A = this chain, B = another copy of it.
Amino acid sequence: MTFASFTDTATVANAITRLAALAPLTEDDRRALGEAANMAAAFAPQSEIVSEGAPLPDKKILLSGWAYRMRQMIDGRRQILGLLMPGDLLGNCAHRDPVSATAIIAVTQVRLCTVPSLGSEALREAYAMSGALDEIALLRQIARLGRLSAYERMIDLLLEIRERSALANLLEGERFALPLTQEMLADLLGLTTVHVNRTIQTLRQNEVLLLRRGYARLSNVEGLMRLVDYRPAPLEVAPQPEREPRA
């Protein structure tokens, strides 16, 4: 299965939903975001959005699509450091002369726009919250790689993706998009593709995971959270209107 043709169902609305969950946006904010979105730049799947060591661009919003931050060693070993999903913010850096510490690569087709004037209090607040969530994701990734088995790592990662999808109202019932190849999952989890494949099969046998055509569904989320000691990010998540699953 290739994801070059992955049809991203996320819209600008999803990105804005996420920001609104981080700080109470005013109507003005939403309008400004909508206008900024009209100036969005598009990136093809697999393209390099930012290079390692390149000067960091302005603060940007990921309007739709997925990307990842990656580090590659000279001998070819790759480690994916973190995922970027709709509504995530890039270039969160307050000091002058900022340089990107990592490359950023598009997974699917990606649309990016510049954050509108940061004059708005709520937008600045959302930006700060987003930075805090970014840090939590990095910390989680460290604990995942350092102390979980392959089986647990996979569950922990899927729980995180599910949680972040929910934040942007991208949970359709209990199903969510997972446009990652097993190779990307391996680079994310510090495993080989072969072992990722075997781990997924075990998850399927245990009826924990349904994985099909770029979508995933977890069973018994509560139990899984207990299994890997998963702690949701400390956010009073406003309940979102639930979208109908479309099979």
Residues of A within 8 A of B (CB): 53, 69, 71, 73-75, 77-79, 81-82, 93-96, 98-99, 101-102, 125, 127-129, 131-132, 135-136, 138-139, 141-143, 145-147, 187, 189-190, 229, 234
Contact = CB atoms under 8 A, between A and B. Distances in A.
Number of copies: 2
B229 A93 contact: no
Interface on chain A toward B: helix, strand, loop, or mixed SS? mixed
Contacts of A78: 147
Q: Which 3 A-B pairs have the closest CB atoms?
A: A146-B190, A95-B128, A94-B128
Given A132-B95, A146-B145, A147-B190, A139 B138 contact: yes
Contact of A95 (B73, B77, B102, B125): B125
By CB atoms of chain B within 10 A, which of A78, A146, A147 has the most? A146
Nearest to A94: B128
